[in-house]
Structure 1
Amino acid sequence: MKKLFVVAVAALASATSAQAVDLKAGDWTVSVGGIVNAYYTQVSCSGDTVGGLALGGRALGCGGRGDRTTIGNGLLPSGLITSVKSKQGEYDVAATIGIMTATASDTAVGNNSNVDVRQGFFSFGNEQMGTVKLGRDYGIFGANAILNDMTLVGAGAPVRATQANRVTLGHIGAGYSYLGTYGMMAYSSPASNGVKVDVALVSPVTNGPLGTGYDSGSTPQVQGQVSFGGSGAKVWLGAKGQKFEGTTLAYPSFTMRGVELGASYSAGPLGVLANVQTGTGLGIVSDADQGDNKSTNYFLQGTYKATDKVKVGLNYGLSKNKDNTTGTGGLESNSNVTGGVYFSITPAITLAAELGQTRSKGFNGGTAKMNGASFGGILFF
């Protein structure tokens, strides 16, 4: 038999649903589903040389050249996701393993054996106690922003440095921080009058792979969120923190602290979203990859469903550093604006076409920009 498979478990806990194959084995129901996607992206870079993680610069945006063409993944990877569930006594028991892969690389054989295991967790709970989750999964902080980004089924900022062997960035580092994948012990409360609480103890991480000078230490990272939803509206308040241990005198220890406030609203065909993150050590593409630095991320989006099959949208994101610290490499901000059209040709297949521009500004006044275009499609099964 078939049922709606929530791709939220499959890929970034997305709100998109698709058909999965369900198999019964004793008390267990096994669901097999996944994602396959590919996008043609063309980028062109110009302007000044900006240091640090300048997503719109020639080095990262266009792989060191003036322009690049890639046929690869969008913001989501391709992946095969297997989940199981069972009712055992008074508990609902479930588990998920997600095995992802990238489409594009610089060689014809480079990705043949590469896999990206983002998820491997089990959970138990019920309507009265809520749900406990143990294992590897996506983080809580930043989840609402990326899950509601229209470019989740497209590309957003098609930065060459990440699309080769990985995925595009959407608005990661140019509007919100990446939610990350961690080993964790998490708890989700049952919803009460629309209010829900999520908390997690997260295995502490270093500030890699792009940062240097800090170790993960011995104290777990903590993430949490309170959300309220009803009548087409949702509001959330989140936070996260972790101590990073400096490895040399040049890199003194510090504590990453971040807070997030966001809201979304939908009425008929119209949808709007606003999200703000601010704190110390939030990073560009991973926790604290700019070290002990204060930054703020802004993300705004509006979408309109013109027909049952066609949705159009425009969004803008800005990630801005407060001070020119060593970890920024001279980068003051990354921003991205994207306009897109999304056409659901079947319940499982969505075609997307997007145009956008990513800008990076330096504290020295220099500006680099990357113009990007993408088209392709994604299949949820």
Structure 2
Amino acid sequence: MASRKKALVATVMAASVASLPYTMARHAMADDYSDLLDILRAKGNLTQHEYSTLLSKHLRHTAAEQDAPARSTRSAAPHAHATQQAASHVAHGAGTSGVSNGYEPGIRFEAAPDVASSSRAEDAATRAEASARSAQKALDAMNQADFVRVAKYVPGKGLTFKTGPVDINLSGFINGFYTFNSPGGGPAIGGGVSTGSSGFDSSGVRNGLLPAGLILKLSTQQQGWDIDAVLGMYPGMNNAKNGAMNANTGGSPVGLGTPGIDFRQIYVTFGNSHVGTFKVGRDLALFGGDAILNDATLLSVGATGSNSAPGNTSLGRIGVGYVYADWIPQITYTTPKIAGVQGSVGIFQPLDEFQFAGADAKGNPYSASSTQHSSPMIQGKVTYEATFGEVKAKIWASFLIQHQQNLQGVGITTDTGHHAAMVEAGDIGAKVSYKGFEGVAYYYRGSGLGTTGLFFDGVAANGSKRDSEGYYVQAAYNITERLKLVGSYGVSNLYLAGGEARTVDPGYLVRRNQSVIGAAYYHLTDWLNLVGEYAHTSSDAHNGSSESDDTASAGVILLF
């Protein structure tokens, strides 16, 4: 009799452990399991009556769920079917007599098993009870707030750890390049990005357009809101030098120096799929943001800017195809995506009109400057994404508006009335992908926007706005799954304002910056990419003077 009871206990425990995940998920199915554990703990075995009562209760629960759609799920049906099969199997193996009062017709119990079967059943019962305790402990541990899990790793998406209700993501990149820059000569041009007037070849071991980066992102959901907090630190490998552009000022290749740390990302977002998303903090701006994110030189060097004293970053295509979007304090709102369309708008910290190009032969600055702001900068963007068979397309357009006040310049007096200027700019871009091919086209135009950086030389010394425009085109093709070739061409133009020649001599002020770039990228591993690149950059002045340089770069970029 004891062996027979052990056999029954083993079989019922096995069925209970097999259904443990379902039992944990559905409290309504927990009575059988709890009762069985109580009986085993109190008595150590089961009588036939006890077994029949528990099994009948289990079958009634299963039948009730099948008859009540409001309480059933797709996963419950297979469980109920498996339970009935297990019950039938137990009944057929336990005795020869039929059972009524809740049992299905045809259930019978056989004679007691032999000694070997009893031993196996007793071992099974012991193992099943231990498994049940272990599974319950695991479930209790996973529900603890201090239990840390690791999400499946996806190359390029960083490492994600889950602790309680919070996801912690760490991602980043590191790059380094050897660059050799050969100047082609020519006079120095105010606001030019070419190093052609330096007169000397230069070698550098430096960062590319990207510095290094370590990005921490915390994500959670609270009361129906998706909340993210992002902290992005971007250190450079070369020595930092104090200047107007802080860590992005040209470097200082002198012993005992230290690299610059650019903590450019500090923001929080909150929202959901119905309301949209709000962002508060410092992040990449809307106007021109997609231009740099789709620029292939983001992963290489492009125009060096200054190779003899490298700063945190090179220029890539900044100033030779687009104006740098920059990382700006902001409060923005992004709509939910509807039929592939999504819009964003925000208020941003207003930036000064900056005199970047220098001065003419008499020492008069080419451009005006400002430090007064009574209203914020406003930016907005709309994007459309769609897939047509194997073709993927993205189109975007953005705008920028800022009122520059209290302009200062050698040609601005109380009589001119040019103490303020309304800066306006807009852009449009498109990206198309088809199998191994990818193409990007981008165009911008501004009034008072300037060139290279936001509001760099955008207003003449007499207070009048200068128009500017530029574009770049880019084509990439994956020859193999690992090897990609890229070619691109870009131009940035800055036009003179009306009457400014009467105030200063704008002859050596930059009129055009342009570059031709070709690169090869080899995907060595999920993390590591090898890069080789050639760039020809030139700058032209309004008086016809020009300078140019050639740069060869080779290095690696690691992204995790």
Q: How does 1:1-381 map to 2 (within 5 A)?
A: 1-3=150-152, 18-58=156-196, 64-105=198-239, 106-112=253-259, 114-160=260-306, 164-208=310-354, 210=356, 213-231=369-387, 232-245=392-405, 246-248=407-409, 250-251=411-412, 252=418, 253-292=420-459, 293-323=466-496, 330-381=509-560
Rg larger for: 2
Cα distance in 1, alignment partners of residues 190 and 409 from structure 2? 21
Q: Summarize deviations over 1:2-29 as a string: whole Å, max 9, x none.
A: 4567xxxxxxxxxxx6142222233211
Secondary structure, in 3 states, of the residue corresponding to 2:297?
helix
Q: How much has 1:58 moved relative to structure 2? A: 3.6
**CA positional deviation for 1:206:** 1.2
Residues 1:109 and 1:380: Cα distance change in structure 2 (over 3 Å): farther
Structure with more of its chain in strand, by fraction: 1
C-alpha separation in 1, matches of 2:313 and 2:167: 31
- For the residues of structure 2 that align with 1:209 and 1:190, how far apart are their CA atoms? 40
Aligned amino acid, residue 449 of structure 2: L
Q: Which residue of 2 aligns with 1:12?
A: none
- Whole-Å Cα distance in 2 between the matches of residues 108 and 99 of structure 1? 24
Give the 3-state SS of the residue equivalent to 2:156 in structure 1: strand
Cα distance in 1 for partners of 2:301, 2:309 equals 9
**1:247 and 1:233, CA in 2 relative to 1: closer, same or farther beyond 3 A?**
same
What's 1:10 paired with? none
Give deviations 1:247-293, integer Å, cap 9, x for gaps: 35635321221110111101000111110000123233321111322
Q: Larger % of helix: which?
A: 2
Shift of 1:127: 0.6
- Structure 1: distance between partners of 2:343 and 2:265: 21
Structure 1 unaligned runs (5+)? 6-16
Q: Which moved more, 1:287-296 or 1:130-139?
A: 287-296
User: Whole-Å Cα distance in 1 between the matches of residues 212 and 236 of structure 2?
Assistant: 6
Instruction: List alignment gaps of at least 5 residues for structure 2.
Output: 1-149, 240-252, 358-367, 413-417, 460-465
Q: Is the 8 A contact 1:46 1:66 kept in 2?
A: no
Change (3 A) 1:163 1:156: farther
**Does the CA contact (< 8 Å) of 1:50 and 1:361 recur in 2?**
no
Instruction: Give how far 1:210 is off.
Output: 3.2
Give per-residue Cα distances to partners, 1:193-234, cap 9 Å, x unaligned: 111101111011113483762124121001111111101011
Q: What is the count of residue pairs matched by the alignment?
A: 365
Aligned CA distance change for structure 1 residues 179 and 372 (closer, same or farther; 3 Å): same
| Secondary structure class of the residue paired with 1:102 | strand
Structure 1 counterpart SS, 2:429: strand
Contact 2:458 2:467 in 1 (8 A): no
The TM-score normalised by the length of structure 2 is 0.62
2:189/2:547 contact within 8 Å kept: no
Q: Which amino acid aligns with 2:226?
A: D
What secondary structure sits across from 1:103 in the alignment? Answer: strand
Q: Is the 8 A contact 1:318 1:333 kept in 2?
A: yes
Aligned-pair CA distance for 1:163: 7.0
- Aligned-partner residue type, residue 352 of structure 2: T
Q: Which has the higher relative contact order, 1 or 2, with Cα contacts under 8 A spaced 6 or more apart?
A: 1
Secondary structure of 1:287's aligned partner: coil
Identity of aligned residues (%): 28
